[in-house]
Amino acid sequence: MKIREINGENDEEAWDEYVLKSDHSSFYHQIGWKKVVERTYGYKPVYLVAKEGEEIKGVLPLFLMKSRIFGKKLVSVPFGPYGGVCADNNIATEMLTEEAKKIVKEEDLDYLELRNFVKCNNNEFATNDSYVTFIINLSPDTQTVWNKIKRDKRRNVKKAKNTGLKMDWDATVEDFYKVHARTMRDLGTPTHGLKFFKAILEEFPNNAKVITVEYEGEQICCQLLFFYKETEIAVWGSSLDEYKAYHPDQLSNWEIIKYGCEKGFKYFDFGRCLRDTGVYSYKERWGGYPKQLYYQYYLNGVSKMPDTSQSNPKRQRFAKVWRKLPLRLATTAGPLIRKGIP
């Protein structure tokens, strides 16, 4: 078995063909994600493939990220919650991982970061297992799925409908971004720029969709959805705080779940969150179960794992300042900072 970096359209086509057939792949393993990150942020992709003869046995999508502020690292994959090694067997997994470690040493990087569903049992890796993603099993019988949702959430969905909120399934990316950018500023978190979200929708026209919730003609809640194989995925969602009492987020969640049932999807991925947080408790009440994520690090130029989570005290102090910025400034400066946080 040999490891090499892909080169050219033929390699990209073979990569996607393997990924789409694999039981271990995710939306973020697709070549389209490589193109989105390249086009938006200009980071160098290092897409490794393990081949036995002419047959692909595994892939590892990586990006070389260098920043004076945020350091130098090799990440699989940036700006996605998961997407590490995708391989047929342990041999391919080990060889791909070893090649990634070799690159970290040769480039004198701070660390290698892998975001996996399956833990890499290598003593050289430090592991952060604080993150999960919530999975809801879907069914053509929407009533069965509805009955599994906790009573308070069902009650809030009914209230939202009675308030006169409307779903817009033909919303534009600009509609989405108007709500998303403001919400992220209010949370104290730098956001990706509009260019990033446009690139996603251009690259995945049939597998990505934005929706909004309207109140009296104004967008007050938004969601970006991905569709991959049997799974409907909630990726980014935002809701304006002053309309919280109307429960637009909960109406949106239910309508998206129902949409997935009606379209024949088997699973709804409710998105990543930290354990023991309010977001975790919120998602738990929608009838799903947590699926463990393993963020693993091979440390080369640093002594400990990076911590960019919102629970980090430094991040919390930064958020207090960011919330006070004028929206236009936060929207302009946000992508410059977000670029360095994988």
Task: Please answer whether residues 293 and 272 qualify as being in contact, where contact means their C-beta atoms are separated by less than 8 angstroms.
Answer: yes
What was the pLDDT predicted at 312? Answer: 82
Beta-carbon-side half-sphere exposure of residue 127 (alpha carbons within 13 Å): 13
Token representation of residue 258: 């129902």
Task: Please answer whether residues 196 and 40 qualify as being in contact, where contact means their C-beta atoms are separated by less than 8 angstroms.
Answer: yes
Question: Could you write out the three-class secondary structure of 115-152?
Answer: EECCCCCCCCEEEECCEEEEEEECCCCHHHHHHHCCHH
What's the CA gap between 159 and 264, in Å, rounded? 27
What was the pLDDT predicted at 161? Answer: 94
Task: Please answer whether residues 225 and 259 qualify as being in contact, where contact means their C-beta atoms are separated by less than 8 angstroms.
Answer: no
Task: Please answer whether residues 176 and 212 qualify as being in contact, where contact means their C-beta atoms are separated by less than 8 angstroms.
Answer: yes
What was the pLDDT predicted at 326? Answer: 97
**Helix (DSSP H) and strand (DSSP E) numbers for the chain:** 11, 15
What was the pLDDT predicted at 315? Answer: 87
What was the pLDDT predicted at 307? Answer: 83
**Second CATH level (architecture) for the domain 133-292:** 3-Layer(aba) Sandwich (3.40)
H or E segment at 289?
Answer: strand 289-292
What was the pLDDT predicted at 3? Answer: 97
H or E segment at 5?
Answer: strand 2-5
What's the CA gap between 61 and 76, in Å, rounded? 6
Q: For the purposes of burial, counting CB atoms within 10 Å of the CB of 214, is it exposed (0-12), middle (13-18) or buried (19 or more)?
A: middle
Q: Which of 41, 57, 49 is nearest to 10 (CA)?
A: 49
Q: Which residues contact 252 (CB under 8 A, 6 or more apart)?
A: 167, 211, 213, 221, 223, 237, 239
Q: What b/e string do you get for 199-211 counting C-beta neighbours within 10 Å, with b at 16 or more?
A: bbbebbeebbbbb
Per-domain boundaries in the chain? 2-129+294-307, 133-292
Task: Please answer whether residues 232 and 110 qualify as being in contact, where contact means their C-beta atoms are separated by less than 8 angstroms.
Answer: no
CATH (residue range 2-129+294-307): 3.40.630.30
Which residue stretches of the chain have pLDDT < 70? none
